[in-house]
Structure 1
Amino acid sequence: MPVLKVIIPAYNEADSIGKVIAEIPAIVAEIIVVNNNSTDQTVAVAKQAGATVLTETRKGYGYACLCGLNYVASTSNTPDIIVFLDGDYSDYPEELEKIVAPILEEDMDLVIGARKKSLREPGSMTPQQVFGNALATFLMRLFFGAKFTDLGPFRAIKYEKLKELQMQDTTYGWTVEMQLKALRKKLKYKEVPVRYKQRIGVSKVSGTVKGTIFAGIKILGWIFKYSIK
């Protein structure tokens, strides 16, 4: 059986992180929660739930993901597949098996959990999230012939392929960077429709004007950077 490890960036997710960890399927070898400067009980709750807990003091989604990957690289039990999942309980962790299935059964390199409108709980994505995803994926189709419809954070990728991407974004551009580099490297990719519900707590990105603006700038910046290469 392939070795699966999950990386969950978490900033003040004490109310949700335990639920997320509890619903991750038993096929996962290790659940890694990266505490990104939380001021609540995120660390204690995650540890009690059985996760490996790391701390990244530099705030940023990408910083947290990179911290998790640095840890994974230092372990002896090297994974075959890395799954990224948010800690806010907006995803359905039990759908992890559906997301990794195309890697296991079809030899895909990257699988994105696509938050289809018909499967989304009303209000689970803000209008700016919906617009930002639509614009970004439209530009990716226009410039690169991509078939992506979402930049969903719930995703799985072969570990060796992920290392080849040499990820570097430290904040909001992590997801789009991965997808753009996957296109550049001609990785085999697929989207799997997933359900999506209203998160527990307030979004650190789309819940604030500043977060929305900076996320948009980062995402568009990556796309235009790659379009002129």
Structure 2
Amino acid sequence: MTKIKVIIPAYNEQDSIANVINDIPKHVEEVIVVNNNSTDNTVENAKNAGATVLTENNKGYGYACLKGMNYIAKQDSKPDIIVFLDGDYSDYPEELTKLVSPIINDNIDFVIGSRVKRLREGGSMTPQQVFGNWLATTLMALFFNAKFTDLGPFRAIKYNQLVSLNMEDKTYGWTVEMQLKALKQKLSYIEIPVRYKQRIGVSKVSGTVKGTIFAGFKILGWIFKYSFKK
């Protein structure tokens, strides 16, 4: 049986986190919610839904993901696959099965859930998100001949390959860093179209001008850094 663990960064997701956890397929070995300085009932609701809850006081998406990875690294038994999933219920967690299938059946290293337009609920992605995804993936295609169309946070990767990437970004650049390093290390990858709906609550990134600007600079910074790296 393939061992799968899910890491969910969560900041003030009390109204959505239980829905996310409950919709994750039951064959997943462990769901790890990383509380990233929530001031609401995210922790309590995640625990009641059956998740392992960790706390990362340094605010940032990457900080939360790294906390989950560090927790897994200390376990005696390591998983085969790690799935990253947001806690806002914008994805359909039951589609995890679709994401891990190419890894299990075709030995693909890395799978991105691509939020294609035909499967997106109206208004689920802001114009700045759509443009940012287009710009980032266009630049990756130009500089690295990449085939990515999205920076979607719903993604699955072989655990040993994830460790080999030596992830380091602490905030908004986490997703693009993973994709750039996967390209550099020549991991096999594929995109799987996934459904996407309006999130519960307000986005901490695209929902604010500050978040959008910082995310944009981070993403472009990683791309240009790797474009000129030997």
Give the structure-1-normalised TM-score. Answer: 1.00
For the residues of structure 1 that align with 2:140 and 2:86, how far apart are their CA atoms? Answer: 23
The amino acid that maps onto 1:127 is P
CA RMSD of aligned residues (A): 0.3
* Structure 1 segments of 4+ aligned residues over 4 angstroms from their partners: none
**SS of match in other structure, 1:195:** coil
Give the structure-2-normalised TM-score. Answer: 0.99
The amino acid that maps onto 2:97 is E
Q: Unpaired segments of 5 or more residues in structure 2?
A: none
> Is 2:97 aligned against 1:97?
yes
For the residues of structure 2 that align with 1:173 and 1:27, how far apart are their CA atoms? Answer: 30
The amino acid that maps onto 1:210 is K
> Is 2:211 aligned against 1:211?
yes
> What displacement does 1:2 show?
1.1
For the residues of structure 2 that align with 1:98 and 1:125, how far apart are their CA atoms? Answer: 22
The amino acid that maps onto 1:44 is E
**1:40 aligned residue:** 40
**1:117 aligned residue:** 117
**1:153 aligned residue:** 153
**2:18 aligned residue:** 18
User: How big is each residue's C-alpha offset from its partner over 1:51-70, in whole Å with a ceiling of 9 and x where there is no partner?
Assistant: 00000000000000000000
For the residues of structure 1 that align with 2:182 and 2:220, how far apart are their CA atoms? Answer: 17
**SS of match in other structure, 2:194:** strand
**2:140 aligned residue:** 140
How many positions carry a matched residue from both structures? 229
**1:186 aligned residue:** 186
User: How big is each residue's C-alpha offset from its partner over 1:106-133, in whole Å with a ceiling of 9 and x where there is no partner?
Assistant: 1000000000000000000000000000
**1:56 aligned residue:** 56
**1:128 aligned residue:** 128
User: How big is each residue's C-alpha offset from its partner over 1:130-159, in whole Å with a ceiling of 9 and x where there is no partner?
Assistant: 000000000000000000000000000000
User: How big is each residue's C-alpha offset from its partner over 1:10-48, in whole Å with a ceiling of 9 and x where there is no partner?
Assistant: 000000000000000011000000000000000000000
For the residues of structure 1 that align with 2:224 and 2:108, how far apart are their CA atoms? Answer: 26
> Is 2:177 aligned against 1:197?
no
For the residues of structure 2 that align with 1:157 and 1:90, how far apart are their CA atoms? Answer: 20
**1:65 aligned residue:** 65
Structure number with the higher strand fraction is 1
The amino acid that maps onto 1:93 is P
Identity of aligned residues (%): 75
The amino acid that maps onto 2:24 is I
For the residues of structure 1 that align with 2:3 and 2:28, how far apart are their CA atoms? Answer: 7
> Is 2:75 aligned against 1:75?
yes
For the residues of structure 1 that align with 2:193 and 2:172, how far apart are their CA atoms? Answer: 22
Q: Unpaired segments of 5 or more residues in structure 1?
A: none
> What displacement does 1:77 show?
2.4
